[in-house]
Structure 1
Amino acid sequence: MSRSLTSRITIEPLDLSRDVELLHAWVTHPRSAFWMMQDASLDDVRTEYAAIAADPHHDAFLGRIGGRPAFLVETYDPAHATGMGDLPELRPGDLGMHVLVAPPEGAPVPGLTTAVFDAVMAFCFADPAVERVVVEPDVRNHAIRAKNLAAGFTELREIPLPGKTAMLSVCPRADWNAPELVRLPDPPGAVVPDEKHRPGADLGAFRQGLPSSEHLTPELMARAQRHLVAKALSEFSHERMIAPVAEPGRPGRWRVETDRSSYTFAARVKRLEHWVIDADSVERTVDGEPREPDAQELVAELAPVLGIPDSLLPTYLEEIASTLASHAWKLRHRAVPVAELVDADYQEIESAMTEGHPAFVANNGRIGFGLDDYTAFAPETGAAVRLHWVAARRSLTHLSLGADQTEQALYDAELAPAVRDRFRARLGALGLAADDYLFLPVHPWQWRNKLAITFAPDVARRDLVHLGEGDDEHRPQQSIRTFFNASRPERHYVKTALAIQNMGFVRGLSPKYMEATPAINDWVASLVHADEELQACGFEVLRELAAIGYTGDAFHRLAGTSPYRKMIAALWRESPVPRTPAGEQLTTMAALLHRDADGDALVTAWIKASPVDAATWVAAYLRAYLRPLVHCLYAYDLAFMPHGENLLLRLRDHVPVGAFMKDIGEEIAVMGELDLPEEAERVRGSFPDDVKALAIHTDVLDGVLRHVAAILDEDGILPEDEFWAIARQAIEQHAADHPELAEAAARYDLLRERFRHSCLNRLQLRNTLQMVDISDQAESLIFAGTLANPVSPVAP
């Protein structure tokens, strides 16, 4: 049996309104004869499990594998069970257990029953008060009796019970044959009960009993440390916070000195002062003695020159630690060779990304996530997530819709009728009118850690009503708070508020700020769809077509703003799947910067798999990416935030043929006098002329293309000078094709000899809690002189 099977088992309280038809099919199946409900009607099953739900000594749970319903669990107090209360063999600390594995839909999966049984036993022993698990299978059920014995049960004697002769069997905690596959599971964890787990179960002890920290080994952490130290030395050098000096007599080696350590390493310095440092070559000495590289110690030693405020240094070190832990986890669990990604689908590629933002050193902070949260919700784990939903009182909630949207159409598209009926029934059971509420999706972590705690008064007032999980499985994207619908890929992305600290921000969503989001997206989409140049380049946008936010809390009644105003909101963005032609592959542009654990680059593999040479491939990529962005700047003074996570590429025969731009509402700027709808006016900004061109110089050339160029040069696929010549030709060809935009081209002067060096890590290091003021981002920028422009015709 594969470890990946056991790693995706979850157990949650049974929801009879949702699960009764499923249970009926299971318990009446011929394979479930020992469950003694072969002739039960749907109403019989409903009555039986309603009685269990009402019984304080009996509980029922639904088990899933990979998010799909797969088994039923019942636990009970044997002292209160019919026919068992007077048995002399029973003791305090006994817990009874039944388990039913769903009849297979196709061929049986080898090892599935064993995996389920092991997970259920772990679930039972999660409660430290449980000393023994008690079972009483039918004496004729030899298969389950064998499973019991293998797990560590001892058969005591036959006992008469209603409808059967049973074999009373017990398994003390000390006798439980807990297998490796349960004690050391792959994430997202072998069993993670819902917050409404069985009364008396200690959830913390349960999770501690199933540790998933096997990635935190000296060997994997040493690799993660070397990787992050090399990246820190590279990016801090690029931003001119440190200045490596050449090692005398050691060609190709460089040295950086701190107040107590010396670092030497092999590196190549490429265009845009991009340092390619070999992680394995990094050598560190402290007081002349060799020491292993340590990213936290490097940052602490460099803190005076990095400009980190003393009060924020511990926070940044925590983000460094989390980034290291994430990298170690990926080395342990996500070592996917690029050969397997060349033809992979969109979400396989998304979950295989290992680096995070290419420039930020602390790029996987995620402060607020515990280890169980990481394995459940980090995009690289590939775990299925079911979003929770709350009903938010309509009078205290604002729903903004795109021009072609209605509330009814939105919910029709996103929630199946049965789900909406379930939600409305929940409200009705509380004596609430469903029409007085709007449905709002929330991140599971956000519900457990914020809404149910920080907003407890709102829940108690029924201004917010927890409705439970939706039915669809979602996959978290690289941006971590955005989800792709894996059950129904044609349905919208859902972007949720998430009150964790990550890469310089608390990842909330402001209801007030998002009110205009659909209108802004409508305007941008209409502009892009009507532009012949952009259409010819295959450039499209994915609209954020609905946004919702609750403002009835105490924090919105205060005069000042705070992150607490950004905790209950969501938006829906179009899915790219219905708009991707058949035969095309969809990928995050971040994949162009991806190297696997062996150092092989995905962009190199795509070029080799394509029918064209590297220069032609790069020209096609820049036509889909660079040229549309240049055109938007020249024609409309419109700038996007086009980093790897914000852009999806379409590939045909492994060659780029188009792109989807996303994250429109928060990350565009109009830098001129273009007419805007009143609702979209907030995206207009006033910027100095030398800052406007940074929409290409910093965000595209320095932010993305310097990394792609370096990879292709290092891999011997395309020399970097040729890469940059192709980029220059893309800009020049656009100008030749659009003489009507000559004035704008001259004003932006993208081919100038040098441009201002805007630095990202400097921003994060200055304020790790709020990197920039989103309402005035230009004023937040930090510059470090100028950079030689690699697309300038003037040789550097």
Structure 2
Amino acid sequence: MPSDHPVPALPDVTPAAWREANRRLLAKALGEWCFEDMLHAVETGDGGYRVDLSSGTTYAFDATPGAFGWLQVDPRSITHTATGMLGNEVAEPAWDALQFLLEAASTLGSDPSTIATYFTELSATLAVDAARMTHGGDTVARIRSLGHTELECHMTGHNLLVANKGRIGFSATDVRRYAPESAQPVRLQWLAVHRGLAEFRGTSELSERDVLARELDEETRARFTSVLDGAGADPDGYVWTPVHPWQWDNAVQILHAADVAQRRIIPLGDSTDAYLPGQSIRTMANVSVPERYDVKLPLKILNTLVWRGIPPHCTMGAPVVTQWLRGLLDADPFLSDECRTVFLGEVASVTVRHPYLSKLDDAPYQHLETLGCIWRESVSARKDPDEHVRTFASLLHVDSVGDSFVAELVRASGLDPQDWLRRLFDTLLVPLLHVLYRYGITFNPHGQNTLIGYDENHIPVRLYLKDFVDDVCVSFTDVPERGPEPDGHDHVLPRKHPSIIRQHVMDQVFVGHFRYLAPLCAAQLGFPEKSFWQLVRETVLDFHQRFPELTARFAEYDLLTPEIPRYGLNRDRIVVTRYTDRALRHALYPNGTHPNPLAAG
């Protein structure tokens, strides 16, 4: 697609940056794969550990034990030992993460096809990390002033996953054009899709015309209408939808070639507005008119465990789930008035089912989720004028000189670290606990789905939540407070056992973020890890004391249990699921347990 912004040249990556990126990813792989019980670390004394591989090599390293049984590996301490040509063991400093993957393959219990494909994901991740290191980047002091959308372009990906920027399907040029770290504005392509293929849905207050009037100025709507008139098509016979330019070029024109040829899909032209991608890549924020909706669009790329399409049941169900949650939660005075929690609604959608492949039983889902969109309320449309809104994940960001974003915000606030953290825990956890205990509902509150609103002094004040449909789960137990639920002919709310509902909070907040945030606060704020976890526990207990009428629910969704199930995302990719082309996204299954730092004692 012609662009107003030329693709930047391939960045020069220095050998030193490549080695450093590898060294850090090797340390992460050792820590995470031992954490998920894919590898076994043997303690050697004085903070030392070793991992013996069935390939005959040993990796030794220093590590600091952390919460949930995690080892925080020192990247500079890693050594590699192998038997030399003369039969003697030769130890040398280790830095090559790709070589480590190949040497660990048989120990991990995977197959050559999986290892080769995962190698691609790992190499792609390293390429981005090394380029970032080569060119430095803004300090945490500088990014503190950025808005939500611009800040997203400085983040470095999912914490739990080792290969967190795999993006299989993107070329190197695609990464430089469309990945968030490239920060290249994108103009979306718009299509008219015949109503025999497409269906619009919106919340009760939003019509199809309302959405188009909000998203497209009058001149652009007239331009698009003239395209349809010129094609001899009835404008009212088509649903208009944006499509990512990469998707249009690489998926839609190929899989929907019959529809394009027969004028069931008609390209209308580019958007006037420019957009920037968030960390999920497929969700685009409008930077020309920030108050307009964010747009979630399918991309036929494999990234962080799944193909990044949008299932038709999600586009169909998004507005009704939003309508239901708003009616339920906005009417709760504790959430709406005291906590001032913001639910960024998925207010409208377009669903396009493939006219042929949708009739094929067990067709792989990557081919069925290629076209459609979800419009979501933007942060800019909901925040206060002096409010700073940042993803929860941004607190874990560390700049090129080693300074953490969380320490920068604490310093800027003027508060003592303990006071600031208590404000953070109250802001983040109390609304999540209330929704969990009161309604038996959980979100998928990982670092990109949960956002923190800060006042002008960078003190946490309220929580923003997004990504509802398919990520909102309800307990299958009877919860009168939920009232009538929106399931009708289509099942749009996954129902799960209370222990699984609880696990969403445990895994995404405590295991997925606090596990990393605690040592950062210890190292850069002087706030001990033990005190960190005690403060989290006190936040939970204070909530229990305030709402004694929910005592039975505290036991049902027990966050203070001594052990929690272990769900390994890296293990799922490399050992369990691998790269099988499945008809459906799969559920994770537990593999052992973790000790819970929130338990008493």
Question: What is the TM-score with the length of structure 1 in the denominator?
Answer: 0.71
Q: 1:531 aligns with which of 310, 315, 332?
A: 332
Tell me how far apart the structure 1 counterparts of residues 542 and 454 of structure 2 sit (CA, whole Å).
23
Q: Which runs of 5+ in 1 are unaligned?
A: 1-10, 13-62, 68-187, 191-210
Say yes or no: does 1:559 pair with 2:357: no
Identify if the C-alpha distance between structure 1 residues 292 and 274 changes in structure 2 by more than 3 Å, giving closer, same or farther: closer
Q: Deviations over 1:636-669 (max 9, x none)?
A: 1101100101111111111110111011112110
Contact kept, 8 Å, 1:668 with 1:683, in 2: the verdict is: no
Deviation at 1:685, TM superposition (A): 4.2
Q: Deviations over 1:664-712 (max 9, x none)?
A: 1121100133431234973544544543321222222111211111211
Tell me how far apart the structure 1 counterparts of residues 353 and 38 of structure 2 sit (CA, whole Å).
42
Say yes or no: does 1:308 pair with 2:105: no
Q: Which residue of 1 aligns with 2:99?
A: 297
Mapping of residues 90-129 of structure 1, within 5 Å? none
Contact kept, 8 Å, 1:504 with 1:770, in 2: the verdict is: no
Deviation at 1:265, TM superposition (A): 2.0
Contact kept, 8 Å, 2:79 with 2:91, in 1: the verdict is: no
Identify if the C-alpha distance between structure 1 residues 774 and 341 changes in structure 2 by more than 3 Å, giving closer, same or farther: farther
Q: Which residue of 2 aligns with 1:257?
A: 52
Q: Which residue of 1 aligns with 2:438?
A: 635
Moved more, 302-311 or 697-706: 302-311
Q: Percent identity?
A: 32
Identify if the C-alpha distance between structure 1 residues 420 and 555 changes in structure 2 by more than 3 Å, giving closer, same or farther: same
Identify if the C-alpha distance between structure 1 residues 614 and 262 changes in structure 2 by more than 3 Å, giving closer, same or farther: same
Tell me how far apart the structure 1 counterparts of residues 478 and 582 of structure 2 sit (CA, whole Å).
25
Letter aligned with residue 212 of structure 1: L
Q: 2:22 aligns with which of 218, 221, 225?
A: 225
Q: Deviations over 1:378-419 (max 9, x none)?
A: 001111010111111112111111121101101000011111
SS at match of 2:464: strand
Tell me how far apart the structure 2 counterparts of residues 500 and 380 of structure 1 sit (CA, whole Å).
17
Report how many residues are paired. 585
Contact kept, 8 Å, 2:392 with 2:452, in 1: the verdict is: yes
Q: Which residue of 2 aligns with 1:267?
A: 63
Tell me how far apart the structure 1 counterparts of residues 565 and 530 of structure 2 sit (CA, whole Å).
21
Q: Which residue of 2 aligns with 1:757?
A: 566
Q: 2:416 aligns with which of 600, 613, 617?
A: 613
SS at match of 1:264: strand
Q: Which residue of 1 aligns with 2:86?
A: none
Deviation at 1:578, TM superposition (A): 2.1
Say yes or no: does 1:189 pair with 2:4: no
Tell me how far apart the structure 1 counterparts of residues 117 and 560 of structure 2 sit (CA, whole Å).
40
Tell me how far apart the structure 1 counterparts of residues 209 and 560 of structure 2 sit (CA, whole Å).
50
Contact kept, 8 Å, 2:444 with 2:505, in 1: the verdict is: no
SS at match of 2:220: helix
SS at match of 1:392: strand
Q: Which residue of 2 aligns with 1:678?
A: 487
Q: Which residue of 2 aligns with 1:247?
A: 44
Tell me how far apart the structure 2 counterparts of residues 775 and 520 of structure 1 sit (CA, whole Å).
20
Say yes or no: does 1:725 pair with 2:534: yes
Contact kept, 8 Å, 1:670 with 1:683, in 2: the verdict is: no
Tell me how far apart the structure 2 counterparts of residues 772 and 583 of structure 1 sit (CA, whole Å).
46
Tell me how far apart the structure 1 counterparts of residues 447 and 489 of structure 2 sit (CA, whole Å).
25
Contact kept, 8 Å, 1:397 with 1:549, in 2: the verdict is: yes
Tell me how far apart the structure 2 counterparts of residues 296 and 597 of structure 1 sit (CA, whole Å).
23
Mapping of residues 451-470 of structure 1, within 5 Å? 451-470=252-271
Higher-Rg member (1/2): 1
SS at match of 1:400: strand
Q: Which residue of 2 aligns with 1:491?
A: 292
Say yes or no: does 1:214 pair with 2:12: yes
Q: 1:767 aligns with which of 577, 593, 598?
A: 577
SS at match of 1:583: coil
Q: Which residue of 2 aligns with 1:440?
A: 241
Letter aligned with residue 236 of structure 1: W
Q: 1:431 aligns with which of 216, 232, 250?
A: 232
Contact kept, 8 Å, 2:339 with 2:462, in 1: the verdict is: yes
Deviation at 1:772, TM superposition (A): 9.3
Tell me how far apart the structure 2 counterparts of residues 767 and 445 of structure 1 sit (CA, whole Å).
27
Q: Which residue of 2 aligns with 1:508?
A: 309
Q: Deviations over 1:477-526 (max 9, x none)?
A: 01110000000000000000100011111101122442111101111122
Tell me how far apart the structure 2 counterparts of residues 655 and 421 of structure 1 sit (CA, whole Å).
46
Letter aligned with residue 478 of structure 2: E
Identify if the C-alpha distance between structure 1 residues 322 and 514 changes in structure 2 by more than 3 Å, giving closer, same or farther: same
Identify if the C-alpha distance between structure 1 residues 399 and 376 changes in structure 2 by more than 3 Å, giving closer, same or farther: same
Say yes or no: does 1:584 pair with 2:387: yes
Q: Deviations over 1:735-771 (max 9, x none)?
A: 1111111111122222122222222212222224479
Deviant stretches of 4+, over 6 Å: 770-776
Q: Deviations over 1:267-312 (max 9, x none)?
A: 1111212222222222223332536422222222222332334432
Identify if the C-alpha distance between structure 1 residues 688 and 659 changes in structure 2 by more than 3 Å, giving closer, same or farther: closer
Identify if the C-alpha distance between structure 1 residues 462 and 469 changes in structure 2 by more than 3 Å, giving closer, same or farther: same
Q: Which residue of 2 aligns with 1:792?
A: 599
Contact kept, 8 Å, 1:756 with 1:787, in 2: the verdict is: yes
Tell me how far apart the structure 2 counterparts of residues 750 and 772 of structure 1 sit (CA, whole Å).
33
Moved more, 275-284 or 359-368: 275-284
Q: Deviations over 1:56-83 (max 9, x none)?
A: xxxxxxx83xx5xxxxxxxxxxxxxxxx
Identify if the C-alpha distance between structure 1 residues 500 and 776 changes in structure 2 by more than 3 Å, giving closer, same or farther: closer
Moved more, 438-447 or 452-461: 452-461
Moved more, 432-441 or 290-299: 290-299
Identify if the C-alpha distance between structure 1 residues 366 and 426 changes in structure 2 by more than 3 Å, giving closer, same or farther: same
Tell me how far apart the structure 1 counterparts of residues 439 and 125 of structure 2 sit (CA, whole Å).
39
SS at match of 1:268: strand
SS at match of 1:718: coil
Q: Which residue of 2 aligns with 1:8?
A: none
SS at match of 2:229: helix
Question: What is the TM-score with the length of structure 2 in the denominator?
Answer: 0.93
Contact kept, 8 Å, 2:499 with 2:556, in 1: the verdict is: no
Q: Which residue of 2 aligns with 1:659?
A: 463
Deviation at 1:547, TM superposition (A): 1.2
Say yes or no: does 1:741 pair with 2:524: no
Deviation at 1:472, TM superposition (A): 0.3
Identify if the C-alpha distance between structure 1 residues 683 and 457 changes in structure 2 by more than 3 Å, giving closer, same or farther: closer
Mapping of residues 49-64 of structure 1, within 5 Å? 64=4
Letter aligned with residue 422 of structure 2: A
SS at match of 2:212: helix
Deviation at 1:581, TM superposition (A): 0.9
Letter aligned with residue 717 of structure 1: G
Q: Deviations over 1:105-126 (max 9, x none)?
A: xxxxxxxxxxxxxxxxxxxxxx
Deviation at 1:775, TM superposition (A): 6.8
CA RMSD of aligned residues (A): 2.1
Contact kept, 8 Å, 2:474 with 2:501, in 1: the verdict is: no
Q: Which residue of 2 aligns with 1:410?
A: 211
Contact kept, 8 Å, 2:63 with 2:72, in 1: the verdict is: yes
SS at match of 1:629: helix
Q: Which residue of 1 aligns with 2:591?
A: 783
Say yes or no: does 1:449 pair with 2:250: yes
Contact kept, 8 Å, 2:326 with 2:343, in 1: the verdict is: yes
Mapping of residues 342-353 of structure 1, within 5 Å? 342-353=144-155
Identify if the C-alpha distance between structure 1 residues 470 and 334 changes in structure 2 by more than 3 Å, giving closer, same or farther: farther
